[in-house]
Amino acid sequence: MKKTTRRMTKQRKKILEVLKATKSHPTADWIYDQVKKEIPNISLGTIYRNLNVLREMGEIIELSYGSSYSRFDANTENHYHFTCLECGLVQDVDFEVDLDMDKKVNMAIEGDVKYHRCEFFGYCKECK
């Protein structure tokens, strides 16, 4: 039987490296600009494709915001984000994931929550 696990190609490795080195939750365009410095012949399409593969591999998470561009995060631990409505900054919120919320939802739906996502929106320190 053939292995279906994806290999870590040179391009994929570089993309992951770029993403791990930043806390800015960049867009694919930004990642493209960084990776291009070392792999000049890479295309934006390849970046998108590899970001998808990395997401499927569980190496990164994708933060999607409806109509605007997705942002990517190499921190795959469950954590909260704050997005500035003025400058678009996306930052980590450094407090622990509230597990009591999972319990409340469990009671409400009589089910079993595995995780939840939480996003805050407003104005950052510079913009408020």
Distance (Å, whole) CA 119 – CA 102: 16
Looking at the DSSP assignment, which residues form a beta bridge with residue 93? 80
* Residue appearing with tokens 């795959």: 76
Could you tell me which stretch among 44-52, 69-77, 108-116, 118-126 binds Zn ion (CB under 5 A)? 118-126
Q: Which of 28, 61, 74, 84 binds Zn ion (CB under 5 A)?
A: 84
Residue 59 interacts with Mn ion (CB under 5 A)?
no
Q: Which is nearer to Zn ion, 17 or 86 (CB)?
A: 86
**Longest C-alpha distance within the chain, in Å?**
57
Q: Do 41 and 9 touch, CB atoms closer than 8 A?
A: no
Q: Which of 73, 74, 83, 84 binds Mn ion (CB under 5 A)?
A: 73
Q: Which of 86, 103, 117, 120 binds Zn ion (CB under 5 A)?
A: 86
Distance (Å, whole) CA 101 – CA 104: 5
Could you tell me which stretch among 44-52, 70-78, 100-108, 110-118 binds Mn ion (CB under 5 A)? 70-78
Q: Which of 21, 39, 87, 118 binds Zn ion (CB under 5 A)?
A: 87
Residue 33 interacts with Mn ion (CB under 5 A)?
no
Would you tell me which residues interact with Mn ion (CB under 5 A)?
73, 75, 92
Would you tell me which residues interact with Zn ion (CB under 5 A)?
84, 86-87, 89, 124, 127
